[in-house]
Amino acid sequence: MAGIANSFKNSSDIHLWLIEHRNDAPNRFLSEPELARKQAIRREAKRHVFSLSRSALRQILATYLGLDPQEVPIAVMPNGKPFLSSEKSDIYFNLSHTGGLTLVGVASGRQIGVDVEKLDPRRPWQKIAKRFYSEQEIAFLEGGKMEDFFQLWTLKEAILKVRGEGLSRPLRDFSFSLDQPFPQKITDRGMSFLISPLHTGGNYSAAVAVEKSDDATFTVKKWPNFDPLA
Ligand SMILES: CC(C)(COP(=O)(O)OP(=O)(O)OC[C@H]1O[C@@H](n2cnc3c(N)ncnc32)[C@H](O)[C@@H]1OP(=O)(O)O)[C@@H](O)C(=O)NCCC(=O)NCCS
């Protein structure tokens, strides 16, 4: 990746990288612990997605840090959220993968959470909503669209992932109104966040949440091409 350098022009910049899952994607940058994780994944398809996602993540972060991909110091918090363990950098990241696509979010000086889901009409989405969503969201989805169900899902996961809480916290703890403008400000347990859906193109729903409710400019780009999609 020599010659490519990514940086933030403003602290409000948030970069969202889309990585299409291709069979020929490089998967050679993994650390020893990542290789061990990869070997432990039973299903070949999942192993491939883990590997190409981590490789792309390392290549992307390397361009911000000015390091080789293998040198990017990725560590894991006790709650499972990966982070950069370098004291010299204020770069934060998060990653999500679904059938055919990986999303990597990168921010400066603030925590970030991202989620992407492939739209799947076979999912019993009304049943899932009744079980996990808030009363207002269930009412909103009555006679509604599958796309709205997935959009709400990704917003909920993005907010859980910015906090590092994962699915240890009930999804109905956060309730979103899709008929209100985004980005929306959220205050939760003494912290504030900004959250927004993302337009990735294709058959996907995606969202990003960042710590602090100050301004944020979300730019979606393709990896390894650099054309902004918007
Ligand atoms: C994090 C979580 C919500 C991901 O959900 P998902 O839709 O299956 O998967 P996604 O593709 O969106 O995200 C997976 C990625 O999120 C990141 N991630 C893992 N744990 C995370 C957390 N707690 N917070 C934020 N991001 C996390 C990882 O990069 C992971 O990718 P990887 O496994 O390839 O490294 C889910 O895995 C989860 O809840 N895990 C349990 C976390 C937990 O409760 N830990 C408690 C330990 S005490």
pTM to 2 decimals? 0.93
Give the atom of ligand 1 at the shortest distance from the alpha carbon of 157.
3
How many angstroms does the Cα of residue 166 sit away from the middle of ligand 1?
6
Shortest-distance Cα residue to atom 1 of ligand 1: 166
- Sequence-distant (6+) residues with CB within 8 A of 217 are 10, 12, 13, 14
- pLDDT digits 0-9 by tens, 153-199: 999 999 999 999 878 888 988 999 999 999 999 999 999 999 999 99
Return the CATH number of 13-223, one of 3.30.450.20, 3.10.150.10, 2.30.30.140, 3.90.470.20: 3.90.470.20
172 Cα: distance to centroid of ligand 1 (angstroms): 18
Closest approach atom of ligand 1 to CA 98:
11
Write out 160-190 in H/E/C secondary structure: HHHCCCHHHCCHHHCCCCCCCCCCEEEEECC
Which of 79, 102, 174 to mutate for ligand 1's pocket (most ligand atoms within 8 Å of CB)?
A: 79
The residue whose CA has the least distance to atom 13 of ligand 1 is: 96
Which conformational region is residue 77 in: left (phi greater than 0), alpha (psi within -120 to 50 degrees), or beta? beta
Task: Copy the structure tokens of residue 123.
Answer: 């999912």
pLDDT digits (tens, 9 = 90+) for 10-27: 889 999 999 999 887 777
Domain ranges of the chain: 13-223
